[in-house]
């Protein structure tokens, strides 16, 4: 929940030229709902996509005051939506069942889904991290078909490494990413697992992105605080290419 409209526009206008030549990856930003339409309009024709930070469990308009449907996100220019972010799970008590409904609503609306999973520090210390993440994947993806996977991106965000200054080591992140890929192989197919994109999200910064991206099963990053400034986000996007 950052940036008033003018600040959001200033940030994307600064970002556009900094990542204009970033043809090695997809660049996506997720402004607040009130800035989505204006930001999407400013980015039209660029290589930067727009995501909603969340969407309703309801697939279409109706008597759900305060909610934003996935169809409405698509209508104002979003092509992606973040679902199940750790803050939504922790602060707003979103369950796997709710998150699954959001995934289904988003896919029906034609959006790509960035589904977030991850364990708390307590769960990691108890040795249940893989069980927790596996349960979040099973719950969030329930009822989705193999063809739906084309629009699913997984973001692994260890809760203990978000906004704390702590970062999972590249090796710790790789271990969980490889596990997630195995879950997909078992649940769907080897092909689905190989084609799946898995992002790492947990205090990603310009000075640790190269180490994270050197790992076999880390395909990208879900960037938090470091994305609030165009220059720092651009350094992450263009790591190793400056």
Residues with catalytic annotation?
85, 157
The DSSP result for the chain, as a single string, is ----HHHHHHHHHHHHHHSTT-TTS-EEE---GGGHHHHHHHTTTSSEEEEES---SSSS-SS-TT---HHHHHHTT--EEEES-HHHHHHS---HHHHHHHHHHHHHTT-EEEEEE---HHHHHTT-HHHHHHHHHHHHHTT--GGGGGGEEEEE--GGGSSSS----HHHHHHHHHHHHHHHHHHT-HHHHHH--EEE-SS--TTTHHHHHTSTT--EE---GGGSSHHHHHHHHTTT--
C-alpha 64/C-alpha 66 separation (Å) is 6
């Amino acid at each position: 929940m950052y940036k008033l409209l003018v600040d959001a526009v200033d940030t994307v206008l600064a970002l556009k030229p900094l990542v204009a030549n970033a043809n090695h990856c997809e660049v996506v930003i997720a402004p607040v709902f009130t800035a989505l339409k204006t930001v999407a309009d400013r980015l039209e024709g660029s290589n930067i996509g727009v995501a909603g930070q969340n969407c309703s469990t309801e697939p279409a308009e109706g008597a759900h005051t305060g909610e934003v449907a996935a169809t409405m996100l698509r209508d104002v220019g979003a092509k992606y939506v973040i679902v199940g972010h750790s803050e939504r799970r922790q602060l707003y008590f979103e369950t796997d069942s709710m998150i699954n409904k959001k995934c289904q609503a988003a896919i029906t609306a034609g959006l790509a889904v960035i589904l977030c999973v991850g364990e708390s520090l307590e769960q990691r210390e108890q040795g249940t991290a893989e069980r927790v993440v596996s349960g979040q994947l099973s719950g969030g993806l329930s009822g989705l078909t193999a063809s739906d996977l084309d629009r699913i991106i997984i973001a692994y965000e260890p809760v203990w490494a978000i906004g704390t200054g702590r970062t999972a080591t590249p090796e710790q992140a790789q271990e969980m990413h490889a596990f997630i890929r195995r879950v997909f192989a078992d649940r769907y197919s080897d092909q689905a697992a190989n084609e799946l994109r898995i992002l790492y999200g947990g205090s990603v910064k310009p000075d640790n992105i190269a180490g994270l991206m050197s790992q076999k099963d880390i395909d990208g990053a879900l960037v938090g605080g470091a994305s609030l400034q165009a220059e720092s986000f651009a350094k992450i996007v263009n790591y190793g290419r400056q």
